[in-house]
Structure 1
């Protein structure tokens, strides 16, 4: 995980800032915010606790927005958003959400996001470092047909792990009825929340949009459960890496297309050539061509031999003596659940086949890695 070196005086704080300090959180700059990288238990124990029981994450730095059609019809907002993303937004049923990407004219990814259909409007969650640009992008492109409403008065909590349902269920019994990627307005501790059954760890769990003034009370109530431990950015990164999930600005960015990023699974047939509504989004000519013909490179999972982790930025080579790099590590580290190192990187498509052995240069040495499938661990989503 890359900790961003924002100047301390410019850092924002989430509504849970004082709670993080009281819990012993080690605060660091991240995406313009002061955020906990870990708590006294440490990254390793936090990671394993989330896999075994439940972890609570403060993700209030993320951007939350509503997209409302001027016509009052959510389908019109969905059709408008399809100008900016390659996903089928019209087909998202009320009470469901979908993963999407904003793309540019070259097919590169401006940001990745979640889109939920409330039945009345679309609810978007975007990345913290991109949220100002994303809001401007939406206003520039869609203000003719939509009102775009930022929601800075809401916090966002993520409760992840096999005990998440039991922990949140004591405060709101209806959460047990949700399935993976369901989204519903629910009352939790008297607070008007939007709860989705989703997350960024590969585990079952929830993301809870809650009024900022009630966020601390909700977090404290969840942490009163002995199965729930606060989790910082360090374990959040190792958990998402084991799950093979992309971190924007590292694994995907404006220079990578969804196909190069191995995200073509997120593009429905209706938006592809031969579908009901092909194209119509920024970079469609590039992305549709890659969907039909393949891309020249791919994001792949990599398992290093031995115990040494291979970090972001390490160059990749076809063999131990090659002089020309063929790719780069985009994320890498130690996987506590795996008990060993893991990484993701970009390789030319011919070298991206499973079980291909390539080499990374680490401190002047060439270390072998094997291309493997992601996620690195089985997911446990409740479908």
Structure 2
């Protein structure tokens, strides 16, 4: 059954300054909860983060959140978590790319900021739950345990980036938009009916702490240029690059390879080696992955005790694929029913049992088909 609390809760609503979090806070207040809005200041210099209503880290976002709280009629505060965000999200992002991996900063922000730093502070202040505008559902079972499920509207489901939440965190999480089978236009229409000025504010899709959207330029500023070779599967040099950190597994565009492939077909990034500072490219078929090992598993409830059949999602806006997965010695071993492409170390794999989120882990190594192995 879907959780329906018997008593009003003291709720801390994380308000990014966007339409989803504003409507979520309004719905929580309308449901009778004692809601307080809070905007997270995540940059010591907000001007360095996105402007033009594109993120959750700007001065105008803070002002939009405050205006929404005023309309809803709830108290509002700004909490400075800039140091924690820099250490746990931004520095982690840079370090992962430097190591040749492809991180997901939004997932890390949910884990370390919104449902760790923010939730810890909320509980210490006597709040019962943290409310966000994510599209996902928390379901209360008869035994009192809670499960995380996909949103009713699969097109807007955001359970992938919440797969890092454990059962304790789920016990204090509230997602008022998760049961809504509506379009984004209807959410905006609801915001307009409520008098929320953010009703027509553009959505944010890019990384909030990269002001101009240039990830490679952002990394180059912090890691410096380091020219290296681009090689094919045989090891022959086919081009050069200015930093291996600027590439991701499966990338096709922007390789700047002067030498065409023998078969004339496009080449893709197959491997990134920070040690030798080389990027290996090859045909699409060489990206086929049949299995992987993932580390740091986090379970949304009781951890599986043996192998089981699940579906897996490998990126925030990706589809599902059938897998067999098993926890082994603190790791997660996954075998794909059919080969998949573009799987990169550093990405998160999230397991599902139907609509229920079983848990997530960080991809460490992949196994490719013999014909595709490097």
Q: TM-score range by the shorter chain?
A: under 0.3
Normalized per residue, which structure has more helix?
2
> TM-score normalized by structure 2?
0.27
> TM-score normalized by structure 1?
0.27
- Largest Rg, 1 or 2: 2
